[in-house]
């Protein structure tokens, strides 16, 4: 082509006008651009194919003579003129295309006299589309100048198309993110507890709308010095630093409130902290065990009357004997004393059982709570010639325990084991993270007796009170734990006590 006529110069600038793409309406942009290209080259038709995947290009816009193309015409990479241009990344002029029936996958192109097939190559040198501009019979053939211009235009169109595609993808991603965010927020808001997201420095970046989220934020921002605040800050710091999930129970003695704090580390370096106050659950549980105990006390009344009657009868008989014969004082006074002591011990143990347990919880490991008590039981083992073994897990997390009460349970279990084990037998104490076992090689317990073990006053010993295991269970219950027994008569017994680290 010779000099560019004046009228079309402004049209050339139009070709570079990016405004149609601003609204990310790619289709409108393609159609306008194609029409302008056809006009610029004074051609009679044109088409644009865009990549649907790496190997195929689908017809997206056609103009003039190319309107006859089937709606979803496809060019395969490497096949036909269009496919070869896509593969080589270089534009091509085809004159007298009726001699070349494969022109850009175009069928029925007999009216076309000259065509330019231009690859639309993006900045990563990938062919993202194919531009085809054709002239009919009676029009001039395209020359090398035309090809050069068309390639420049092609580069520009490729840039605009990939921009538009990026914008569309971005819009889609933003929309998807917004939807996902909204879903997440709804889920977080519907969670019963408070959820707070903190960054790697522990600063709050997001939270749900729970009733006490402000208390959490204050605590995390070091605005309150409380047991809860300190525990939350410590757990958060720990989760961020270790990158390991954590779950803690927190108890504030002063306000008698309980919380469960959970932390999940984020890959980005922060953490998601969830807090649930469990005070009501704990109180409900205490109330339930109180009710249970009251029912048991009811059942015990008959048993206790029986227990009291025996020593009382003994005392009365002794008194009558003394009354009849004063000389017998020395013989019967110790008997009276002994029976009175028995009554006193019975009263003490009963009171211990009947009283609600005022728990005095402290943060301590199981080993620290148990080991000092073991020392007290050792003389009994030595006296009877029983071997004692101990195993201790190195994982000793901090639990909330009433040390004195837990000690009482350990003492009861070790004493029972000692009483049941003959000389030469052995007793083993195993302390794990949140449970412990007392294993003996003693007499074992008959299956029918196993069912009654934890009932008050169940004893097989002449001097037993039958309150040891019953009180032990009450103590473990109050900790939210469990106590269980397995036994093989004649071989031995294992008592297992488990503290649920996360129980209310």
Nearer to ligand ADP among residue 98 and residue 345 (C-beta): 345
- HSE, side-chain direction, 13 A CA sphere, residue 59: 18
**C-alpha closest to that of 65 among 161, 139, 119, 120:** 139
34 interacts with, out of ligand ADP, Mg ion, none, CB within 5 to 8 A per kind: none
Of 204 and 483, the one with the shorter C-beta distance to ligand ADP is 483
Site size toward ligand ADP, by CB under 6 A: 21
Among 154, 229, 311, 468, binds ligand ADP (CB under 6 A): 468
Closer to ligand ADP by CB, 123 or 462: give it.
Answer: 462
Q: Which stretch binds ligand ADP (CB under 6 A): 67-75, 361-369, 411-419, 474-482?
A: 411-419
CB of 435 to ligand ADP, least distance (A): 17
Rule CB under 6 A: say whether 469 interacts with ligand ADP: yes
**Binding of ligand ADP by 486 (CB under 6 A):** no
Distance of CA 387 to CAs 5, 68, 378, 379, Å?
A: 112, 100, 10, 11
> Is 265 a residue that touches ligand ADP (CB under 6 A)?
no
- Kindly tell me the sign of the dihedral angle through the C-alpha atoms of 340, 345, 349, 355: positive
Alpha helices in 97-212 (DSSP H): 144-190
406 binds ligand ADP (CB under 6 A): no
Question: Is residue 417 a contact residue for ligand ADP (CB under 6 A)?
Answer: yes
What number of other Cβ atoms are within 10 A of residue 330's Cβ?
8
d(CA 399, CA 248): 9
Selected from 44, 412, 441, 498, the binder of ligand ADP by CB under 6 A is: 412
Nearer to Mg ion by Cβ, of 32 and 416: the residue is 416
Distance of closest approach, residue 199 Cβ to ligand ADP, in angstroms: 54
Contact in structure between 130 and 86 (CB atoms under 8 Å)? yes
Q: Which of 248, 402, 434, 440 binds ligand ADP (CB under 6 A)?
A: 440
Q: Are the CB atoms for 114 and 141 separated by under 8 Å?
A: yes
Shortest separation between residue 280's beta carbon and ligand ADP, angstroms? 33
Partner interacting with residue 160 (select from Mg ion, ligand ADP, none; CB below 5-8 Å by kind): none
Q: For ligand ADP, what does the binding mask look like between residues 281 and 320, x meaning CB under 6 A?
A: ----------------------------------------
- HSE (CB half, 13 Å, CA atoms) of 152? 9
Q: Does 108 bind ligand ADP (CB under 6 A)?
A: no
- Give me the residues that bind Mg ion (CB under 5 A), please: 416, 468
| H/E run at residue 354 | helix 329-354
Q: Judge whether 67 and 47 are in contact, CB under 8 Å.
A: no
Does position 476 bind ligand ADP by CB under 6 A? no
Residue 320 Cβ vs ligand ADP, minimum distance, rounded to whole Å: 30
Q: Angle of helix 403-420 relative to helix 468-478, nearest 10 degrees?
A: 150
Is 460 a binding residue for ligand ADP by CB under 6 A? The answer is yes
Residue nearest to ligand ADP (CB): 468
Residue reference for tokens 């993006």: 122
- Contact partner at residue 459 from ligand ADP, Mg ion, none, CB < 5 to 8 Å by partner kind: ligand ADP
Q: Which is nearer to ligand ADP, 44 or 412 (CB)?
A: 412
Q: Which H/E stretch holds residue 88? A: helix 80-88
- Considering only CA atoms, which of 384, 486, 487, 390 is closest in space to residue 443? 487
180 Cβ partners below 8 Å, 6+ apart?
none
């Amino acid at each position: 082509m010779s000099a560019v006529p004046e009228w079309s110069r402004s049209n050339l600038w139009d070709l570079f006008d990016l405004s149609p793409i601003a609204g990310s309406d790619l289709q409108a942009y393609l159609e306008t651009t194609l029409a302008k290209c056809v006009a610029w080259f004074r051609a009679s038709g044109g088409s644009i194919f865009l990549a649907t995947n790496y190997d195929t290009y689908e017809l997206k816009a056609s103009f003039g003579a190319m309107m006859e193309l089937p709606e979803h015409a496809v060019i395969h990479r490497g096949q036909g003129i269009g496919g070869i241009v896509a593969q080589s990344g270089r534009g091509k002029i085809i004159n007298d295309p009726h001699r070349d029936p494969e022109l850009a996958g175009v069928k029925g192109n007999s009216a076309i006299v000259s065509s330019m097939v231009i690859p639309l190559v993006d900045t990563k040198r990938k062919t993202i589309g194919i531009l085809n501009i054709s002239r009919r019979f009676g029009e001039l053939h395209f020359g090398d100048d035309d090809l050069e211009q068309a390639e420049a235009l092609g580069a520009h169109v490729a840039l605009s198309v990939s921009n538009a595609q990026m914008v569309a993808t971005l819009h889609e991603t933003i929309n998807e993110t917004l939807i996902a965010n909204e879903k997440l927020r709804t889920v977080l808001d519907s969670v019963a507890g408070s959820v707070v997201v903190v960054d790697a420095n522990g600063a709050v970046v997001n939270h749900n709308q729970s009733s006490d989220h402000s208390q959490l934020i204050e605590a995390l921002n070091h605005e309150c010095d409380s047991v809860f605040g300190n525990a939350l800050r410590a757990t958060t710091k720990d989760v961020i630093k270790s990158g390991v999930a954590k779950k803690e129970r927190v108890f504030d003695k002063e306000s008698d409130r309980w919380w469960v704090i959970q932390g999940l580390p984020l890959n980005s370096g922060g953490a998601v902290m969830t807090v649930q106050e469990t005070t009501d659950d704990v109180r409900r549980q205490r109330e339930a065990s109180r009710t249970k105990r009251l029912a048991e006390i009811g059942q015990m009344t008959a048993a206790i009357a029986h227990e009291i009657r025996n020593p009382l009868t003994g005392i009365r008989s002794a008194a009558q004997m003394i009354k009849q014969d004063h000389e017998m004082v020395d013989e019967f006074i110790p008997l009276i004393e002994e029976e009175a002591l028995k009554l006193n011990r019975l009263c003490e143990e009963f009171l211990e059982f009947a009283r609600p347990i005022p728990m005095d919880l402290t943060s301590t490991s199981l080993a620290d709570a148990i080991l000092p008590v073991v020392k007290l039981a050792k003389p009994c083992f030595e006296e009877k010639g029983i071997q004692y073994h101990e195993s201790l897990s190195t994982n000793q997390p901090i639990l909330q325990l009433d040390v004195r009460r837990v000690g009482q349970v350990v003492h009861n279990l070790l004493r029972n084991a000692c009483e049941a084990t003959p000389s030469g037998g052995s007793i083993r104490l195993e302390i794990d993270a949140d449970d412990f076992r007392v294993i003996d090689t003693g007499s074992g317990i008959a299956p029918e007796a196993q069912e009654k073990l934890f009932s008050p006053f169940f004893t097989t010993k002449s001097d037993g009170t039958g309150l040891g295991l019953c009180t032990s269970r009450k103590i473990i219950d109050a900790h939210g734990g469990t106590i269980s027994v397995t036994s093989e008569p004649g071989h031995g017994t294992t008592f297992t006590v488990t503290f649920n680290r996360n129980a209310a």
